[in-house]
Amino acid sequence: MCGWPGIRDITTERQRRGVFTSVLELEAAVNENVAHHNTDPKPFIWTKSARDILQKVIRANARSSSKQNGTLH
């Protein structure tokens, strides 16, 4: 698969609006959209540094952990 923005588009444009009566239908829709996206793929260009991204992940994990610990007491 090529590029996460294409995958996001698959979710928002097709799967949320579609009606699937089986897992096979859903898989076929995903594969069709991936094939369509890959006919003209665009590279994903990170706009943040790895350091900035990792710091954000660390902050999110800290918030998540504190919320989980608060519900356990």
pLDDT tens for each residue of 2-36: 445 555 666 666 666 778 889 998 888 888 888 88
Alpha-carbon distance of 67 to 72, in angstroms, equals 9
Number of domains in the chain: 1
User: What pTM value is reported for the model?
Assistant: 0.44
pLDDT digits (tens, 9 = 90+) for 53-62: 999 999 999 9
What domain range includes position 41? 4-72
For 8-69, give the DSSP string.
HHHIIIIITT---SSHHHHHHHHHHHHHHHHTS-------S-HHHHHHHHHHHHHHHHHHHH
